[in-house]
């Protein structure tokens, strides 16, 4: 009986050791990926901002890849100024004063004027206002879509452009 107990204990220890090795392997890979991400952040931005340092190390490579491939990528469908104005409008609604500061600075760095910044924030306010009205009054969505499509069609007839709302 003692021999069987020792064999079971040895098997449990071997299995536990194997599990630790297998589970540690992704962590080692994450560490290499996170270190590469920190180096790339440093190279791209000139420093690693605190908010990147505070992000969980296990996710920093993915978070940086998203940030760099969309927000910092000049080859996306939206130009950098437009992306930053959208970021500012959203930040104003969240609200996030860190984001408002960042996106305002980034929008200006990408050529946005003070008037464009004011307009982006005003558009955020208008969207919030009418969202409150539409949702609070429980406007029928199908009716809203039909009316929007009609308004867009009439506007396109006046201007000679295509005005079909997104499906």
Q: List, run by run, the mean pLDDT of 10-residue segments along the chain (167 residues).
A: 55 47 47 95 98 97 97 97 98 96 98 98 97 97 98 95 58
Residue 82 within a domain: no
What's residue 160's pLDDT? 86
Within-domain flag for 92: no
Q: What is the pLDDT of residue 63?
A: 97
The range of the structural domain enclosing residue 51 comes to 1-72
Nearest Cα neighbor of 84 from 64, 67, 59 is 67
Examine residue 167 and state whether it is found in any structural domain, yes or no.
no
What is the separation of C-alpha 163 from the centre of its chain, rounded to a whole number of angstroms?
29
Report the 10 Å Cβ neighbour count for 31.
13
Residue 17 resides in a domain: yes
State the Cα–Cα distance between residues 126 and 122, nearest whole angstrom: 6
Q: Per the domain annotation, does 93 fall within a domain?
A: no
Domain membership of residue 120 (yes or no) is: no
Residue 31: per-residue pLDDT: 84
Number of domains in the chain: 1
């Amino acid at each position: 009986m003692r021999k069987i107990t020792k064999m079971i204990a040895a098997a449990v220890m071997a299995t536990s050791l194997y599990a630790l090795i297998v589970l540690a392997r992704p962590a080692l890979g994450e560490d290499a990926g996170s270190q590469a991400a920190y180096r790339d952040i440093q190279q791209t931005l000139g420093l690693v901002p605190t908010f990147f340092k505070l992000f969980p190390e296990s996710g920093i490579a993915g978070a940086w890849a998203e940030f760099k491939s969309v927000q910092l990528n000049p080859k996306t469908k939206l130009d950098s100024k437009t992306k930053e104005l959208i970021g500012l409008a959203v930040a104003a609604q969240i609200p996030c004063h860190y984001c408002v500061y960042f996106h305002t600075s980034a929008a200006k760095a990408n050529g946005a004027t003070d008037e464009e910044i004011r307009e982006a924030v005003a558009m955020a306010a208008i969207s919030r206002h009418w969202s409150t009205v539409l949702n609070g009054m429980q406007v029928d969505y199908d009716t809203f879509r039909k009316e929007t499509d009609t308004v867009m069609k009439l506007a396109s007839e006046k201007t000679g452009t295509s005005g079909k709302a997104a499906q």
